[in-house]
Homo-oligomer: A and B are copies of this chain.
Amino acid sequence: MSENTKWVYGFGGGSAEGDASMKNLLGGKGANLAEMASLGLPVPPGFTITTDVCSEFYANDRKYPEGLKAQVSEALSKVGKTVGMDFGDKSKPLLVSVRSGARASMPGMMDTVLNLGLTDETVDGLAKLSGDARFAYDSYRRFIQMYSDVVLELDHHAFEELLETYKEGRDYFLDTEMTADDWVKVIAGYKKIVEEQLGRPFPQDPEEQLWGAIDAVFGSWRNDRANTYRRLHHIPESWGTAVNVQAMVFGNMGETSATGVAFTRDPSTGDNHYYGEFLINAQGEDVVAGIRTPQTLTKRAREAQGEDEPSMEEAMPDAYGELVKVFEKLENHYRDMQDIEFTIQDKKLWMLQTRNGKRTAKAALKIAVDMCKEGLIKENEAVCRVDPHSLDQLLHPSLDPDAPRDQVLTGLPASPGAASGEVVFNSDEAERLAQEGKAVILVRVETSPEDIHGMHAAKGIVTARGGMTSHAAVVARGMGRPCVCGAGDLKIDKSETFFTVAGRKVQKGDTVTIDGAEGRVYAGAVPTVQPELSGDFAELMTWADKARRMRVRANAETPHDAQVARDFGAEGIGLCRTEHMFFEADRIIAVREMILAESKKGREEALAKILPMQRSDFEKLFRVMTGLPVTIRLLDPPLHEFLPHSDEEIEEVAKSSSMDAQLLKDRAHKLKEFNPMLGHRGCRLGVSYPEIYEMQVRAIMEAACAIKKETGEDVTPEIMVPLVAKREELALLKVRIDEIALSVLKENNLKLDYLIGTMIELPRAALTADFIAEEAEFFSFGTNDLTQTTFGLSRDDSASFLPDYMRQGVFERDPFVTLDREGVGALVKIAVEKGRKTRPDIKLGICGEHGGDPDSIRFVEDAGLDYVSCSPYRTPIARLAAAQSKLQQS
């Protein structure tokens, strides 16, 4: 760095010395301000002190580099000239804001000081200029308070206390009751506090104020909180922070001043109309505070809303005309709908901020499709403009936004959609009532695999316990049922005839409405609005399908789910969990007989009863999916999941199925496991009890043959062996699977392609994928279990500490929601590379919950997998995310 080094970059007045690309030198905030100014937008002028100054400051024992003071002084006077004010001037005082601005925003840093430059002298100038003494003194006392807190680091309680005491003494309740005189008195008190605590008066030299604030920003780069944050988030100390100094502008300088917010299109509907509000002679916060009613921006909007007060278009036609020009410039530059804050100071328009505007899913769709048609963006850009997560809002019914509602309970928004129904407390009853044609909402403390039929029968599910990835949440999302989880205030009475929430009682049979997207439960039936899947939606999805490389499949077990998936554009089934079929009422008895059998022969007899039912399940599924591949996972859960657990349940089951209760109890006890997740499950069952998998393979192949004969079309069963850790497991099982598959084809005198493959859901499988690929024709990454084993983290138990982890920044995201690239992702990449090395044409997919998460889909695209598989209702989300991932691939 020489003494000619440029330490300060100015902006404003239609140009800037920096631009958006100089983020490392100017920080994020400084670079954006420079970009706006260089577009010729009327940005309040200012300058950025570079991050290099911060580095020099620390490299030289907290001394500033030579030349800095001069450059700041020069930049400041240029700012004054641009706005026609002067820093420290008694009649036209330039006021500035001072803000930190690192490359990445970071807690612990000194954030903002506003209105810097106010002193006992300049405050009078401001009062006169604005014609509003109350505003001037209020600004001054705010400045003293803020400066004392963040720059002088004085105890802020004293200031608050003084103000409270003052207001009490006058019976004031709100700050707005304070007059200019009141503020003058408070200011005197504030200054006394400062002097007492500091040992010297509040600085009355604007120059001193400014350098105090700059010192504070640079000093805060190395405070404890910032240091800890950097350490946790891997941000190098050497990056440094920049400091932004910018002229304050005021919308409350009389009737020729105003302030407002605007969107270049309607953020709610996406319609191509300007949209916004403004207030004459007001500050930005007045618009938000709601004390005065803002006026409309356009005449059109005023008329549509039947308002009397003139719109900005009518009241300030010149400024409005300038604003419209800015709108056009911004949409053309950013090629997206903008959300703008502006101020008019004495007829002059100032742009305080512009950013891509937040919008509803519906608006996002419409804006993207419209802009494409307008020629502003291309199809592929339109595809990238819609947040795939937001589609969830469109794919499910939602509550009518205009309908009144009476909230009973809140919980986690576990599965989106809205539904009304009678409250029931157990799954059998839910099923019975549903069969009678009633809509029911299943309310449980928590759910288990034995509730599957009840959850399926219900229109929605509410649980008292469990997080976003609890059994209820995962299954409900898979089924597309709205679900509210972890509603901690929900107390279900032991009698199961009512529940209470903070004393309010809801009876069994009462109608409630649940909103799974918001995590709320309402009393009575709240009307819902059905989703529209045609129009813009259909058009955008066509563009997305053209753009994507990966196939999208769905995880589905029932013909209904398979049909939903197919309707939503799924190109096959990526995961059919056969155990769900085992739980259905007509077969659970045979399943239990099998588990209780002492010998292979006994098991085979029970399995013979299950075979025709499984075959019929597969036939129904294949019939929906003709022409497409269907991946079927052989039995996975440990056998104890199919047995009753508590003594009462055992007695009940024994009675109802005429089994010996003691035998059931003994067997359940013997099968009990310390860590079922790591227990006797998956292919370990297939090795111990080959007859179970043999029955399933027979059922699959017989069903495939039957459907081929019936429809003339092929299905391609992909038989998937779960939880493989060693090549040898798959080698052993594959011999038997092939034998049975070939013999079924021979019996039917048919040819049919089928594949044998495996889940990659254990670290060892990923690490030895080259060996496993010798046997496996496909890999499906089971990233739920792979995440559990890679982290050594049980999904069911993580609720007790994940919140601590998120709060302290150890986890930025829940790894069960968004795939962990560094760890789990590393294993996926190892497996892909090793698998393809052995078998170049191996088929690769992912079937964990992550398959429906857009961020994870991006990883999957990067890893080069062939397809993702997700729950049926997320199929469009996955299609869109896959397209974006391909288009935005780095």
CA distance A800 to B675 in the complex (A): 13
A810 within 8 A of B: yes
Set of chain B residues within 8 Å of A676, measured between Cβ atoms: 674-675, 797
| Residue pair A792, B678 in contact (C-beta under 8 Å) | yes
Question: Which of A673, A761, A764, A805 has most chain B Cβ within 10 Å?
Answer: A764
The count of identical subunits is: 2
A808 within 8 A of B: yes
What is the interface residue range for chain A against chain B? 35 or more
A824 within 8 A of B: yes
Question: Which of A771, A789, A796 has most chain B Cβ within 10 Å?
Answer: A789
**Which of A75-83, A172-180, A270-278, A727-735 makes up part of the contact surface?**
A727-735
CA distance A502 to B763 in the complex (A): 45
| Residue pair B794, A764 in contact (C-beta under 8 Å) | no
| Residue pair B791, A762 in contact (C-beta under 8 Å) | yes
Partner of A823, one of B228, B768, B790: B768
| Residue pair B810, A767 in contact (C-beta under 8 Å) | no
A211 within 8 A of B: no
- A731 with B232: in contact, given A687-B810, A827-B767 (CB under 8 Å)? yes
CA distance A789 to B678 in the complex (A): 8
CA distance A684 to B801 in the complex (A): 7
- A823 with B793: in contact, given A687-B808, A732-B232, A732-B808 (CB under 8 Å)? no
Per the 8 Å Cβ criterion, residues 402-445 of A in contact with B are: none
Q: Across the interface, name the chain B residue whose C-beta is closest to A227.
A: B735
Question: Which of A671, A809, A822, A824 has most chain B Cβ within 10 Å?
Answer: A822
Set of chain B residues within 8 Å of A794, measured between Cβ atoms: 673-675, 677-679
CA distance A677 to B674 in the complex (A): 8
In the complex, per-residue mask of A780-800: 1 if CB is within 8 Å of any chain B CB, else 0: 000001001111111011001
CA distance A495 to B674 in the complex (A): 26
A826 within 8 A of B: yes
Per the 8 Å Cβ criterion, residues 633-688 of A in contact with B are: 671, 673-680, 684, 687-688
Set of chain B residues within 8 Å of A319, measured between Cβ atoms: none
Question: Which of A677, A732, A810, A827 has most chain B Cβ within 10 Å?
Answer: A810
| Residue pair B687, A788 in contact (C-beta under 8 Å) | no
A472 within 8 A of B: no
Per the 8 Å Cβ criterion, residues 702-730 of A in contact with B are: 723, 725-729
A505 within 8 A of B: no
A820 within 8 A of B: yes
| Residue pair A228, B735 in contact (C-beta under 8 Å) | yes
Chain B nearest CB, measured from A815 CB (Å): 9
A804 within 8 A of B: yes
- A725 with B791: in contact, given A680-B801, A797-B673 (CB under 8 Å)? yes
- A680 with B800: in contact, given A726-B810, A790-B789, A792-B723 (CB under 8 Å)? yes
Question: Which of A674, A675, A729, A731 has most chain B Cβ within 10 Å?
Answer: A675
A231 within 8 A of B: yes
| Residue pair B725, A792 in contact (C-beta under 8 Å) | yes
- A801 with B763: in contact, given A768-B822, A810-B732 (CB under 8 Å)? no
| Residue pair B764, A731 in contact (C-beta under 8 Å) | no
In the complex, per-residue mask of A750-774: 1 if CB is within 8 Å of any chain B CB, else 0: 0000000000011110011001000
Chain B nearest CB, measured from A577 CB (Å): 17
CA distance A801 to B685 in the complex (A): 8
Set of chain B residues within 8 Å of A823, measured between Cβ atoms: 725-726, 763-764, 767-768
| Residue pair B808, A762 in contact (C-beta under 8 Å) | no
Chain B nearest CB, measured from A834 CB (Å): 10
Chain B nearest CB, measured from A229 CB (Å): 11
CA distance A791 to B800 in the complex (A): 25
Set of chain B residues within 8 Å of A673, measured between Cβ atoms: 794, 796-797
A334 within 8 A of B: no
Set of chain B residues within 8 Å of A796, measured between Cβ atoms: 673-675
| Residue pair B801, A792 in contact (C-beta under 8 Å) | no
| Residue pair A764, B810 in contact (C-beta under 8 Å) | no
CA distance A808 to B801 in the complex (A): 41
Set of chain B residues within 8 Å of A771, measured between Cβ atoms: 234, 822
Q: Across the interface, name the chain B residue whose C-beta is closest to A768.
A: B822
CA distance A673 to B671 in the complex (A): 17
In the complex, per-residue mask of A202-226: 1 if CB is within 8 Å of any chain B CB, else 0: 0000000000000000000000000
Q: Across the interface, name the chain B residue whose C-beta is closest to A683.
A: B810
| Residue pair A820, B687 in contact (C-beta under 8 Å) | no
CA distance A753 to B394 in the complex (A): 61
| Residue pair A764, B735 in contact (C-beta under 8 Å) | no
Per the 8 Å Cβ criterion, residues 434-471 of A in contact with B are: none
Set of chain B residues within 8 Å of A761, measured between Cβ atoms: 792
Chain B nearest CB, measured from A221 CB (Å): 18
Chain B nearest CB, measured from A725 CB (Å): 5
| Residue pair B804, A790 in contact (C-beta under 8 Å) | no
Set of chain B residues within 8 Å of A827, measured between Cβ atoms: 763, 767
| Residue pair B232, A767 in contact (C-beta under 8 Å) | no
Chain B nearest CB, measured from A787 CB (Å): 9
4 tightest CB-CB pairs across the interface, nearest first? A764-B823, A678-B794, A675-B794, A763-B763
Residues of A participating in the B interface, judged by any CB pair closer than 8 Å: 228, 231-232, 234, 671, 673-680, 684, 687-688, 723, 725-729, 731-732, 735, 761-764, 767-768, 771, 785, 788-794, 796-797, 800-801, 804-805, 808-811, 820, 822-824, 826-827
17 residue pairs A–B, Cβ–Cβ below 8 Å:
A231-B731, A231-B735, A232-B728, A674-B677, A674-B796, A677-B792, A678-B792, A679-B800, A680-B797, A688-B800, A725-B793, A725-B823, A732-B808, A761-B792, A767-B790, A768-B822, A789-B792
Kindly list 5 other residue pairs between chains A and B, CB separation below 8 angstroms, not including A673-B797, A763-B827: A231-B735, A673-B794, A728-B809, A761-B792, A762-B792
